[in-house]
């Protein structure tokens, strides 16, 4: 990981990226023609957004209840490797004010895909999108964010096949 071209470290003002994603920033940026610092910053904002939800484990739990299929493919320590329905990542883009059509968002998705495949060995995932979430210290503000594209009302219900269509905003 000492490759100077890896661009594994995001911009100075961005949150530090967790190991499962950091090593994939440079290759994903080159793959899509994006700026590696911008990709790292976007992934860092994603990490902070999820941690503010109030946490990764809670979001994973909500997704496991909301979707018709369990999205959790593997867990390794604090890293959760999920396959989520196609409507989830656009909800993240919207919540982060990211341009879904731009190379930075494409590179962020590529970094998630690369990290997911490396950790799970699952390269064929149909229409579902790889998403790597990493738990860590909770933000000090204590504010809860909105779960990207899951039905937060259904998280307290006993039904597990709600489809998760509420989304943020």
**5-12 average pLDDT score:** 42
pLDDT in tens, 68-80: 999 999 999 999 9
- Say what the pLDDT of residue 9 is: 42
DSSP 154: G
- Has residue 163 got a pLDDT over 60? no
* Banded model confidence at residue 148, pLDDT cuts 50, 70, 90: low
Query: Averaging pLDDT over each range in 10-24, 39-53, 113-127, which range is the top one?
Result: 113-127
Question: Three-state SS across 18-71?
Answer: CHHHHCCHHHHHHHHCCCHHHHHHHHHHHHHHHHCCCCHHHHHHHHHHHCCCCC
pLDDT digits (tens, 9 = 90+) for 89-105: 999 999 999 999 999 99
**Whole-angstrom distance, CA of residue 151 vs CA of residue 62:** 8
Q: What is the pLDDT of residue 50?
A: 87
Check if the beta carbon of residue 72 is closer than 8 Å to that of residue 82: yes
What is the model's pLDDT at position 95? 92
Intra-chain end-to-end CA distance of the chain, in Å? 38
pLDDT digits (tens, 9 = 90+) for 21-42: 999 999 999 999 999 999 999 9
């Amino acid at each position: 990981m000492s490759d100077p071209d890896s661009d594994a470290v995001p911009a100075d003002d961005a949150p530090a990226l967790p190991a499962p994603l950091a090593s994939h920033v440079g290759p994903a940026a080159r793959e899509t023609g994006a700026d590696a610092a911008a990709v790292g910053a976007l992934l860092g904002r994603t990490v902070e957004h999820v941690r503010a939800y109030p946490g990764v484990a809670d979001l994973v739990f909500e997704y496991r209840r909301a979707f018709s299929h369990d999205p959790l493919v593997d867990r390794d320590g604090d890293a959760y490797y999920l396959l989520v329905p196609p409507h989830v990542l656009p909800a993240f883009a919207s919540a982060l004010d990211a341009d879904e059509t731009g190379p930075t968002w494409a590179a962020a998705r590529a970094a998630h895909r690369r990290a997911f495949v490396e950790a799970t060995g699952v390269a064929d995932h149909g229409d579902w999108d790889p998403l790597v979430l990493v738990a860590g210290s909770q933000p000090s503000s204590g504010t809860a964010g909105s779960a990207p594209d899951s039905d937060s009302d259904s998280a307290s219900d006993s039904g597990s096949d709600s489809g998760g269509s509420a989304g943020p905003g």
